[in-house]
Structure 1
Amino acid sequence: MPASTESTASSDENGYDVIGDVHGCAAPLTDLLNRLGCHVNQSRGAYEHPTRQAIFVGDLVDRGPAQLEVLRIVKGMVDAGSAQIVMGNHEFNAVAYDTPSPDGGFLRAHTEKNTSQHQAFLDQVDGDTRTEYLDWFTTLPLWLDLGGLRVVHACWHEPSIRVVVEVLGLNRFTSRDQFARATTKGDPLYEAVEVLLKGPEIDLVGHGQQRYFDRDGNGRSRARVAWWDDDATTLRALAVMGSNFKTIDGKPYPPLPGTEVEADDQSYSYRGDVPVFYGHYWREGRPQRGVDFTDRTACVDFSAVKSGALVAYRWSGEREIDEDHYVGVG
């Protein structure tokens, strides 16, 4: 289980506590907030820390058992100024699933797969309450650049950020109408949002490899890109392949070859000198250098909803990621 020392967890230094994907897990969230030294301000009705601010990396909803309670806690903190948040792909998908398409249907099709992924949210948050939170999701920034640190749900990518700013004028949507472009394949806004909220991908089939089945049993021909590894130049190093991925005949997916890939597939690598914090990638166990964190990047998603841990990184101004600043509860 990722964890820090008690001295780190109880620190009163100024800074930010970056919290990973919650996915409707309210009990671990309150445990983590307590461990971080937060308490409920009775006058504001929200958790707060005396000197620090929380930042959520998105994906508050879907899958977990207490999504409404999570939403109440996090929105209450954001409204009170004790937290900030960036949009996750699950918030984006929730808005698209609920928004009618100009061509009929919805911006996110109500297929069996999409509905199944979203069913827990539909069951637990309904009526006017659901509309209230969906409207809130629409306003969430796609990234935060706070000077000493940067936060994004899946991938920090300057070209994609520039596209969003050019199209939307700032780092967030201002109306549901804009989601139509963001869900239209081939539109520059669609491509940019895909990278920021879901991460870049590399075509395995196009590189002579077979399709695979992920942990949820979905067949895929593309793999996520290890954009946090600025030295990755080969297919083996760039493609993120889980140990539980299977071939079409149910066997463990074999190691990828160490062949060099095109420059375009290497172009997502983060080479900035400002630390970036992100979620999305379903990590497990204790944080490992080179996998979960590097000198300048740190994942805070450790699979809270799938028997993992809800994790925060306690940032206090450091320029390089420190493994001891992870705080986790299981």
Structure 2
Amino acid sequence: MLTQQELNEYSGFDIIGDIHGCAKTLVKLLQKLGYRFINGCYRHSSRVVVYLGDIVDRGPHIREALEIVHSMVERKAAVCIMGNHEYNAVSYCTPAPEGLGRRYLREHNAHHNRLIGETLEQFAAYPVEWREYIEWFTTLPLFYETDSFRVVHACWDQALIDQYRDTYHCNRVNSEFIVKSVDRQSFEGRLMDRLTRGTDIPLPEERVITSKDGFQRRFFRTKFWAQSPKTYGDVAFQPDPLPKDLVDRPLSDLEKSNLICYPKGERPVFIGHYWLQGKPKPVTSNIACLDYSAVKYGRLAAYRYDREPVLDASKFMWVYVDPPEWREPEAE
């Protein structure tokens, strides 16, 4: 795995968002970025890929996507951080210790079974290989940073990251951490939730948002960069819109106090996770989200980063996705 020093030696970085099993599209994107299959993996003569996690679940070619990413990481042609879906897979497949009241760290209920269903089905004939990937997931960093940029799956929370470094002295998890993180109120649980799922606000009065795929949420995802927000609409950041009557609802003092704000003057940070749509562009001058709903027939997106302090919309590149992971390019 690339060390921090080795990562800094590359001339540029190609940061790629959530893949979710779209392996054929990933190959097309890598080729578009100038990567070629050499000595067992895709590699570039002077650049390196940074994967933002969520390689697994949902898509048609999960096993193939993992093979591409894993081979690049092992041969130092890429780095990959942990997404919430890798974390979920580890928790789902790890037996719970006695006294927890369940067989596995992540309960095998209908919702969790559905989320990981495609992955388990595609690995049904390869149980040893799947177990090896589960072990590999536990070695993935939760975040990465260089002198010029940062990456995290969903939210860069400097205070929690500093506390994590002070406690664990690294940017990776271990088995003890995974077990502790099942308790959402523990430091480990709060850190994992914040970095891989982001910030959120509970919906008032037991309201519910039903997503397009039928999943019901009792909270909405929020920006971690909003400057002086006043209403729910100022901080909402998710594909499913707020109910119209909540958009202008004022934030309470408690809700405001629980928000965080990534400073404008900090080095750029790259995230995935949020199912954006449309033509890729920076979220702010120093924040870019690279999840453009690939597995929902959107775009598998990348940002070609060359240490610029201000992000540039022209540095985004993408490949469109459509069943069976192929379509004619749309006109812009």
With normalisation by structure 2, the TM-score equals: 0.87
Deviations 1:122-180 (A, max 9, x none): 01124100011000000000000111010000001112212322343311113x23211
Using a 3 Å threshold, how does the CA distance of structure 1 residues 241 and 134 change in structure 2: closer, same or farther?
closer
Shift in Å at residue 241 of structure 1? 4.7
What pairs with 1:234-249 in structure 2 (closer than 5 Å)? 234-243=231-240
**1:4 aligned residue:** none
* Structure 1 equivalent of residue 5 of structure 2: none
Aligned equivalent of 1:312 = 302
The letter of the residue matching 2:179 is: A
Relative to structure 1, the CA distance from residue 241 to residue 19 in structure 2 (aligned partners, 3 Å threshold; closer, same or farther) is closer
Structure 1 gap segments, 5+ residues each: 1-12, 246-251
CA deviation digits over 1:61-81, x for unaligned, max 9? Answer: 000011111111101101111
Is the deviation greater in 126-135 or in 162-171?
A: 162-171
Residue 197 (structure 2) pairs with residue 198 (structure 1): yes
Aligned sequence identity (%): 35
Match of 1:131 in 2: 131
In 2: Cα distance, 1:273 partner to 1:165 partner:
19
Give the aligned residue type for 2:153.
H
CA contact (8 A) 1:229 1:270 kept: no
1:257 aligns with 2:252: no
Q: Find the counterpart in structure 2 of residue 6 from structure 1.
A: none
Change (3 A) 1:272 1:154: farther
Q: Please point out which of 290, 293, 311 is paired with 1:300.
A: 290
Q: State how 1:143-222 maps to structure 2 within 5 Å.
A: 143-174=143-174, 176-205=175-204, 210-222=207-219
Matched, 1:276 2:274: no
Map of 1:14 onto structure 2: 11
**Amino acid aligned to 2:298:** G
Counterpart in the other structure of 2:85: 90
Deviations 1:210-264 (A, max 9, x none): 321122222222111111333434322112253566xxxxxx6545115244332
**Quick check: 1:325 aligned with 2:315?**
yes
Where 2:294 maps in the other structure, the secondary structure is coil
Q: Say which is worse superposed, 186-195 or 222-231, in terms of deviation.
A: 222-231
Distance 2:206 2:312 in 1: 36
Provide runs of 4+ in structure 1 moved above 6 Å.
none
Contact 1:200 1:268 in 2 (8 A): no
Using the TM superposition, give the Cα deviation of residue 188 of structure 1 relative to its aligned residue in structure 2, in angstroms. 1.1
Could you list the per-position Cα deviations for residues 275-294 of structure 1 after superposition, in whole angstroms to 9, with x for gaps in the alignment?
Answer: 00000000011125xxx521
Which structure would you say has the larger RCO, counting Cα contacts within 8 Å and 6 or more residues apart?
Answer: 1
Q: Which amino acid aligns with 1:297?
A: I
Equivalence for 1:249:
none
Aligned equivalents of 2:63, 2:239: Cα separation in 1: 31
1:305 alignment partner, SS class:
helix
